[in-house]
Amino acid sequence: MKLNEKLQMVLLPIAIIFGFLLSQNSQISNFSGNLTIPFLLLMLFSLFINIPLKNFKKEFINLKFIKITLLINFIWTPILSYILGYAFLNQHIDLWIGFIMLLVTPCTDWYLLFTDLAKGNMKLSLSILPLNLLLQLILLPVYIFLFTGVLSGFDLNLLIETIVLIIILPFILSQVIKYFVNVSNRLSNYFELIAIISLSLAIFTIFSSKGSLLFNNLWVFIILLIPFVLFFIINFILTRLVKIAIKMNYEDYISLSLTTLARNSPISLAIAITAFPNQPIIALSLVIAPLIELPILIIVTYMIKRLK
By the 10 Å C-beta count (0-12 exposed, 13-18 middle, 19+ buried), 177 is classed as middle
Interval 165-192 mean pLDDT:
79
Distance CA 178, CA 159 (A): 28
**pLDDT by residue (tens digit) across 253-290?**
999 999 999 987 666 766 666 566 667 778 778 877 87
Distance CA 178, CA 173 (A): 9
Please give the pLDDT value at position 99.
92
**What's the mean per-residue pLDDT of the chain?**
81
Distance CA 203, CA 294 (A): 8
Whether the Cβ atoms of residue 169 and residue 41 lie closer than 8 Å to each other = yes
Interval 140-155 mean pLDDT:
66
Left (φ > 0), alpha (ψ -120 to 50) or beta: where does 106 sit? beta
Structural domain including 109 reads 3-307
Interval 29-33 mean pLDDT:
81
**pLDDT by residue (tens digit) across 186-199?**
777 788 888 888 87
CA nearest neighbour of 44 among 204, 205, 165, 220: 165
**DSSP class per residue in 45-82:** HHHHHTS--TTHHHHHT-HHHHHHHHHIIIIIHHHHHH
CA 163, 111, 133 angle in degrees (round to 5)?
A: 40
How many domains is the chain built from? Answer: 1
Q: What is the CATH number of the domain that holds 65?
A: 1.20.1530.20
Counted residue by residue, the chain has a size of 308
Whether the Cβ atoms of residue 83 and residue 250 lie closer than 8 Å to each other = no
Torsion of CA 80, 85, 87, 93, to 10 degrees: -160
CB-based contacts of 4, cutoff 8 Å, min separation 6: 189, 192, 193, 196
pLDDT category, 87, cuts 50, 70, 90? very high
Other CB atoms closer than 10 Å to residue 78's CB: what's the count? 19
Distance CA 148, CA 152 (A): 11
**pLDDT by residue (tens digit) across 98-116?**
899 889 989 877 788 789 8
- The pTM of this model reads 0.74
Distance CA 207, CA 19 (A): 5
